[in-house]
Amino acid sequence: MPLHPVRAGFAVLAATLWAGCGGGGGHGSAYATPLNPKQAPLVTVRQLLQADSLVGRRVRVVGTCALAGSGPSTGVWVLQDGGFSIEVRGLVPASCFRQDEQSQQLAIFAQVEPKSAGSRERLLLRLPE
């Protein structure tokens, strides 16, 4: 029995949204959205800035904390590694505020997003670990 036209439309919309959110084959291969850091690929800050295929994906990235905000800027900081840096929005690691430890490396779990609509610049949205 054929689907009612409204139901068929919803089925197409649902499939499109599912594929666009990483549930289908983006960039020629299936992408399963990692639910925790152990499932996410490890990438460099440089790769985040250069690989278009990482936009919209969840990753683990290692670097050092720089420019941790305070006051109204709390929750916005910079992760840097190998001469490259990227803005991070979300929980600032406690190690970013320690004066006695310089350049302590840390790994975060985050989603890569464009800095603004249509922008090639990127930022990280830090996810709970």
Per-residue pLDDT of the chain (129 residues), as tens digits, is 444 444 444 443 333 334 444 444 444 456 789 998 999 999 999 999 999 999 999 999 999 988 766 655 578 899 999 999 999 999 888 778 776 556 688 999 999 999 999 888 999 999 988
Same domain? 110 vs 62: yes
DSSP secondary structure string, 61-103?
A: EEEEEES---GGGTTEEEEEETTEEEEEESPPPGGGG-SSS-S
Domain that holds residue 43: 33-126
| CA–CA dist 27, 99 (Å, integer) | 43
Same domain? 42 vs 87: yes
Count of structural domains, the chain: 2
